[in-house]
A = this chain, B = another copy of it.
Amino acid sequence: MSIQERKERERAQRHQLIVATARELAEAQGWEAVTTRRLAERIEYSQPVIYGHFPDGKRQIVGAVALEGFAELTAVLRQAVADGPAGRAAVAALATAYLDFAERNPALYDAMFLLDTGLLFADEQTPAPLREGFGTLVATLGPVAGEADPGAFVEVFWSALHGLASLTRSGRLPRRLAAQRLTVLVDRFAG
């Protein structure tokens, strides 16, 4: 029994090691630098070991990193509205927290919202960390939505945030005017 347990523990550790290594590598050199070969070298195992943990390969690894990201983003958003702001203040707090998160964890953000992970959104099988993040937004922004359907309202707000984050990150929006854009965004969604 105990031997079995030890093995499972070791296996879980290695699993986590792969995810952490992939994340570090992605954050340091971008996702295109995260190859199974490099990953294998870093964790000091051969390539097939990685496929023992992630049969679907790279895509699944990205998904595992993304899942960590959703948990962290949810925590960040909750923290941002922990003291219960309402109306305009709530919108501003969430927007700032979201964009800060994207700016500070670019590779993580890409895994969550840009890359193909096979993760399902707004579905029966959507993982819990993902649900909770969206739930936090809905709970906080519901009162701001007015007559609009809270779900649709939050989706549009999130889309705007994602648009700002991703276009800024890819150099398509100049960072220079980020503050003005934030003001416009908050005005639009808090009004």
A residues contacting B by CB (< 8 A) are 113-114, 116, 120-122, 148-149, 151-153, 155-156, 158-164, 166-167, 170-174, 177, 180-181, 183-185, 187-189, 191
> CB distance B121 to A187 under 8 Å?
no
- If A114-B114, A155-B184 are given as contacts, then 8 extra A-B residue pairs at C-beta distance below 8 Å, sorted by A number, are A113-B170, A114-B170, A120-B171, A148-B180, A149-B177, A149-B184, A156-B185, A159-B163
Q: Give the number of times this chain occurs in the complex, counting copies.
A: 2
> CB distance A113 to B159 under 8 Å?
no
What DSSP secondary structure best describes chain A's contact surface?
Answer: helix
Q: How far is the CA of A170 from the CA of B164 in the complex (A)?
A: 17
Q: How far is the CA of A162 from the CA of B73 in the complex (A)?
A: 21
A147 closest partner in B (C-beta):
B187
